[in-house]
Amino acid sequence: MTTTDLDAGTPARTSAPRGTGTRATRVLGIATVVAMAWLVAFGLGFSPADRDQEESVRILYVHVPTIWIAYLAFVVTAISSGCYLFGRKKSLGFDRVAGASAEIGVVFMAVTLIVGALWGRLTWGVFWQWDARLTTTALLFVTYIGYLAVRRLGGSHHQRAKRSAVLGLLAVLEIPLVHWSVRLWRSLHQEATVLRTDGDISMDGLMLFSLFVGVIAFTLLYVWLLLHRSRTMFLEDLIEDRGLDQALAARRAEAEEVRP
């Protein structure tokens, strides 16, 4: 990607992104920043206050998109895990996408839990309750922390990929439990407002649009993060392999010297 200034014989200044970036990710990054600015403008400025929750409803525009993205990230982890486990090629690319997506999902889930606690303080009067939705969400968060810990257990890349793929496929089964927890058990948490089974979206048009802007903004951010994080994982694996190769070569050289 780097161009060379032939006249001077020194590397030329280039506008090409460094590291794990490309022009496409740069464009995606700019689109994400613009979408986030729109989210702040609509979420905090243009959208109206709610009849019941008043101004605190504005937290919805970051709380709901972050949990949706966390779900999406964990589903992508499961799909990539399945592709690795059941695919013919056993490509480590699927494993890296699974790992990167799980990391992003954990970050978004942590944000959801903390922001949800702030919203809970305003609407319920408490930061935390061992309520069905909150407890199952916390359990999902801990499960994926475990998934990330399992990825760091050591062994070859394929051993890591195999064991984490199994866990990635099992952990995703918790998502329906979290989603339906408000119906399965008595819960303080409200039921779904948009993804309702009866199709009735009981939301003001501008509120729904603000939520839509939030979902778009965080989805763009997720894709941008996934591209960068999976490429970083590729570099980590490559450098680790190279280090192992060099260590093996050094040991072989030592053995050759010792041999009579």
Partner 1 sequence: MSAAIVGAIVEMDDAGFIIGSYVLTFATVGLFAWRTLRRGRRLAEQVPDEEKYWL
**Which residue ranges make up the site for partner 1 (CB under 8 A)?**
1-2, 18-22, 36, 40-41, 43-45, 49, 54-56, 58-59, 62-63, 66, 104, 107-108, 110-111, 114-115, 118-119, 121-122, 221, 224-225, 227-229, 231-232, 234-236, 238-239
Choose between 61 and 84: whose C-beta lies nearer to partner 1: 61
Q: What is the four-CA torsion angle of 203, 209, 211, 215, rounded to 10 degrees?
A: 140
| Partners of 5 in the β-ladder | 10
Choose between 34 and 239: whose C-beta lies nearer to partner 1: 239
The distance of closest approach from Cβ of residue 185 to partner 1 in the complex, given in angstroms and rounded to an integer, is 26
The distance of closest approach from Cβ of residue 221 to partner 1 in the complex, given in angstroms and rounded to an integer, is 7
Choose between 4 and 173: whose C-beta lies nearer to partner 1: 4
The distance of closest approach from Cβ of residue 228 to partner 1 in the complex, given in angstroms and rounded to an integer, is 5
Identify which of 49, 105, 98 has the alpha carbon closest to the alpha carbon of residue 73: 105
Q: Angle, to 10 degrees, between the axis of helix 92-123 and the axis of helix 60-86?
A: 160
Other residues' Cβ atoms within 10 Å of the Cβ of residue 26: 14
Identify which of 52, 191, 66, 41 has the alpha carbon closest to the alpha carbon of residue 117: 66
The distance of closest approach from Cβ of residue 186 to partner 1 in the complex, given in angstroms and rounded to an integer, is 26
d(CA 179, CA 174): 9
The distance of closest approach from Cβ of residue 45 to partner 1 in the complex, given in angstroms and rounded to an integer, is 4
How far, CA to CA in Å, does 118 sit from each of 56, 59, 134, 176? 10, 9, 13, 24
Choose between 44 and 249: whose C-beta lies nearer to partner 1: 44
Choose between 11 and 146: whose C-beta lies nearer to partner 1: 11
Choose between 114 and 253: whose C-beta lies nearer to partner 1: 114
Query: What is the SS3 assignment for 68?
Result: helix
The distance of closest approach from Cβ of residue 77 to partner 1 in the complex, given in angstroms and rounded to an integer, is 16
**SS3 labels along 20-56:** CCCHHHHHHHHHHHHHHHHHHHHHHHHCCCECCCEHH
